[in-house]
Amino acid sequence: MSDLVLSVKHSSDSAATSTHFHDCNQLLFVKSGAACVTVNGERFKACAGSLVITNRFERHSITAETENYERYILRISPSPVSLKETDEMLLSVLVNRPASFRSVIDVSPCAVEYTAVLNNMEKEYSEGGKLSGYVLELLLYRLLALLYRYRPELFSEYEKGLSEIVREIKKVFFCNYSADYTLEGIAAQYSLSPSYLAHSFRKITGTSVMNYLRLCRITAAKKLLASSDMPVSRIVASCGFSDHSNFSREFRQETGISPTEFRNIYKNR
């Protein structure tokens, strides 16, 4: 199966989902009906023909507002992969949050094409077969290319060289979030001034360098809390936080609950 497309699901279940997290990026396309979507505390209405994009850092919930709420859900790996420049640019919409970005996007003029591609993706995922992962990835890029043609402003401005540096920094944080970093040290590594790196990183991703690192650490902590019995004190150290009180404060700020409460809710879910 694909290393990039983790799952494809079609659902007409109208049960509400409480606030939750995924250690992956997600595309949800509303085929019919309507739902109320909350992403990091901000509420949106997603009608038929809407595309909902959330990344691994964002807490979200979805409540159906009509009985015929029907959607496709794609879960996409957050792991950095080596891809061609165009592929990287298309995938950027899953994780970057420039000023023009909105979590719920009206793509109704493309709804027929979206539905056709997603039908093919669901069939490919369900049936499998030779080169199935490759086919799924091609179809995912088809979806993202349709979005780019319709709403190019949602994609971070792609500057060769600069975007590659930002992507490399994000990859370093993804793989080694517990190390000790400073903005000045990172900027020096790439022969950039700290102010220029800070401005460029925020322009492309929608957040600061050090906040992106903080989000990587909190996401790693959530995964450990939900999937292991590791003591919180060890999680604090392994995820790169300076002390327990700092970790608890930042964790609650990001998730709305304490680390212990998070573990009680999500353990073995």
> Stretch 241-256: mean pLDDT, rounded?
92
Length of the chain measured in residues: 269
pLDDT higher than threshold 80 for residue 263: yes
pLDDT of residue 54: 96
Q: Categorize the per-residue pLDDT at 51 as very low, low, confident or very high, splitting at 50, 70 and 90.
A: very high
Per-residue pLDDT at 98:
84
Distance CA 114, CA 59 (A): 25
Q: Cα separation of 27 and 57, whole Å? A: 14
Total-model pTM: 0.89
Q: Is the pLDDT of residue 81 over 90?
A: no
Burial class (CB in 10 A: 0-12, 13-18, 19+), 261: middle
Q: How far is CA 70 from CA 10, 31, 38, in A?
A: 8, 5, 18
- Mention every residue, 6+ apart, whose C-beta is less than 8 A from residue 131: none
**Residue partners of 75: CB distance under 8 A and separation at least 6:** 5, 6, 7, 22, 24, 25, 26
pLDDT above 70 (res 84): no
How many other C-beta atoms can be found within 10 angstroms of the C-beta atom of residue 20? Answer: 12
Task: Please tell me which residue, 160 or 203, carries the higher pLDDT value.
Answer: 203
User: What mean pLDDT comes out for the span 106-128?
Assistant: 95
Q: What is the C-alpha separation between 124 and 117, in angstroms, rounded? A: 10
Average pLDDT over residues 147-161: 80
Q: In whole angstroms, how far apart are CA 185 and each of 161, 182, 200, 243?
A: 19, 5, 16, 22
Please, where in the chain does CATH 1.10.10.60 lie?
Answer: 162-266
Bridge-based pairing of strands 60-64 and 17-20 is antiparallel
Of 14-18, 89-93, 145-149, give the lowest mean pLDDT range: 14-18
The band of 162, judged by pLDDT with boundaries at 50, 70 and 90, is confident
At 75 the pLDDT is 96
Dump strand ranges (E) for the chain: 5-11, 17-20, 25-32, 34-39, 42-47, 50-54, 60-64, 70-76, 104-106
Q: What is the band of 197 on the pLDDT scale with cuts at 50, 70, 90?
A: very high
Q: What does the alpha-carbon distance between residue 28 and residue 7 come to, in Å, rounded to a whole number?
A: 12
Domain topology for 5-154: Jelly Rolls (2.60.120)
Query: Domain 162-266 has what CATH class?
Result: mainly alpha
Domain span(s) for CATH 2.60.120.280 in the chain: 5-154
